[in-house]
Chains A and B, each alone.
Chain A
């Protein structure tokens, strides 16, 4: 299996990245090399093997549903690149 520039453009769109023509060329070559290497995984028979998502046997960590103080608006907005009255300003989403 080999990746084309078209695949790279598709994945870049999914990842919300805008690549220059040079980057597209470079990533096509490099991703092909890395994925060819990853083909190695196919040599192993993993039928009946459970996937490991996490090494610790921890599931569904719960706590009591008690109200606690949370980060205030002022603090939360401190690093905002564009702010208006305690809200993050973005380009118009609807026409």
Chain B
């Protein structure tokens, strides 16, 4: 059995027994990347030498009395390229940051190191996390391991593809409007967006600060619980970090959902949903029924306004956050500017790709004098209504379940010319992001050979229930064990 198909606990048992080494795990990862990444394009940067060194250091310490106890001991991890890694290029898949090398680690990178995971490299994404297909990477398009003519989803497309292709044991992504869950769905892996504020954003290059959240992409729910355990927690360096007690996520995986109350929003299964996706979700609900859970159709009445509100809010926040890219302190600087303003203008115009420019333009317009009330303020009020939908539903149900995305992965090039159609792929994930609550995507079947994702949404800071529901489903199905032929 390939080491990456082994259970985390079995890997740890074998590491401690000396039957397996961290170096072997790293070499397996690098070998798999060498075999597959020309076709997949998941990695932007590899950190081979440091990965080998850290693994060798772990192995040396494993042979000492007492051994090593890290929660993610020896596991090769890939990190989305918008998460700062000291001394390792971090580009956000943008020309603007070509060659940029952070001078500090993100808090999550510290935490992964403390848990003794081994960083293999940085993963491709849509530029500055703007997009749902990875076609907006300035460097290369990542391909879906299940069908290389299709997109892996986005913006954490490299993270989902790398896990699906068995290149790393797990990956970190970031989710603003669905950027962990949607690629997880398209690539047939598990993706968890934690509650806003549960995981520190310190060192995550900001896109939309009121929505951005880091989370794990893994092969199964158990691994997601372990990774969340390692990365969650208050951070004084992130002023939006939530100061809450971190429960034990792994112990929540009881396999038991008897009596669990599930709400199924009719808006997530209406027009625009692929019939095969709908059927996979209905089949999953029958699995829950067989386990003793109860489900009912519910309504989240403001769903149809979520995409409009999201694109106004996220683009407005992005236009403000991306003002820092001015060509003065880091990143590209245009040659021969006429003056300082011209330096900003030329550097930004040369450094940013079309989708980033489009969102900066939209956000700048929405925040500009005369339009602020009509767009930005209005969208913030609609966000309140959307959040109330979730508060109300989650007061009556333990979880909300529906599809992660309305369709399986689409073809590369199919939607790139039509930004609005591309935005509509996020109809099931965006409302959840606006409400700030946690959600996971787990594989729930194939449609024409392509993975379909089931989305399980919970109350704020109730990741335990979300993980429990997802894990119980996994115990009764085999979809998470399906692997693409590469």
Contacts and interface: CB of A to CB of B under 8 A. Distances in A.
Interface of A: 3, 7-8, 11-12, 14-19, 23, 27, 30-31, 33-35, 37-38, 40-44, 46, 49-56, 58, 61, 63, 71, 75-76, 78-82, 88, 90-93
Nearest to B327: A81
Contacts of A81: 327-328, 330-333
A44 B382 contact: yes
Given A17-B345, A41-B378, A79 B319 contact: no
Contacts, number: 161
A11 B384 contact: no
17 contacts: A12-B361, A16-B341, A17-B360, A23-B357, A33-B420, A34-B311, A34-B419, A41-B308, A41-B312, A42-B374, A49-B385, A51-B383, A51-B384, A52-B434, A56-B436, A81-B327, A82-B333
A35 B368 CA distance: 14
Contacts of B327: 81
Contact of A55 (B196, B326, B342, B343): B196
A80 to B, nearest CB: 6
Interface stretch (B130-138, B146-154, B169-177, B236-244): B236-244
A11 B361 contact: yes
Contact of A79 (B101, B240, B302): B101
A10 B374 CA distance: 18
A91 B339 contact: yes
Given A34-B419, A63-B236, A91 B333 contact: no
A79 B242 CA distance: 32
Contacts of A92: 339
B420 A37 contact: yes
A11 B308 contact: no
B380 A91 contact: no
Interface in B324-360: 326-333, 337-346, 348-349, 352, 354, 357-358, 360
Contacts of A12: 361
A38 B311 contact: yes
Contacts of A38: 308, 311-312, 375, 379
Contact of B329 (A14, A35, A56, A79): A79
Given A44-B302, A56-B197, A51 B380 contact: yes
Interface string B369-390: 0000011011111111101000
A2 to B, nearest CB: 12
Contacts of B239: 58, 61
3 smallest A-B Cβ distances: which pairs? A55-B436, A51-B380, A79-B330
Listed residue (B101, B377, B384) with the most chain A CB atoms within 10 angstroms of its CB: B384
Contacts of B460: 55
A10 B331 CA distance: 25
Nearest to B461: A56
Given A15-B348, A31-B365, A75-B103, 17 more contacts: A14-B364, A15-B361, A17-B345, A18-B345, A31-B358, A33-B419, A35-B375, A38-B375, A41-B379, A46-B382, A53-B210, A56-B197, A76-B103, A79-B100, A79-B330, A91-B337, A91-B343
A16 B345 contact: yes
B240 A56 contact: yes
Contacts of A82: 333
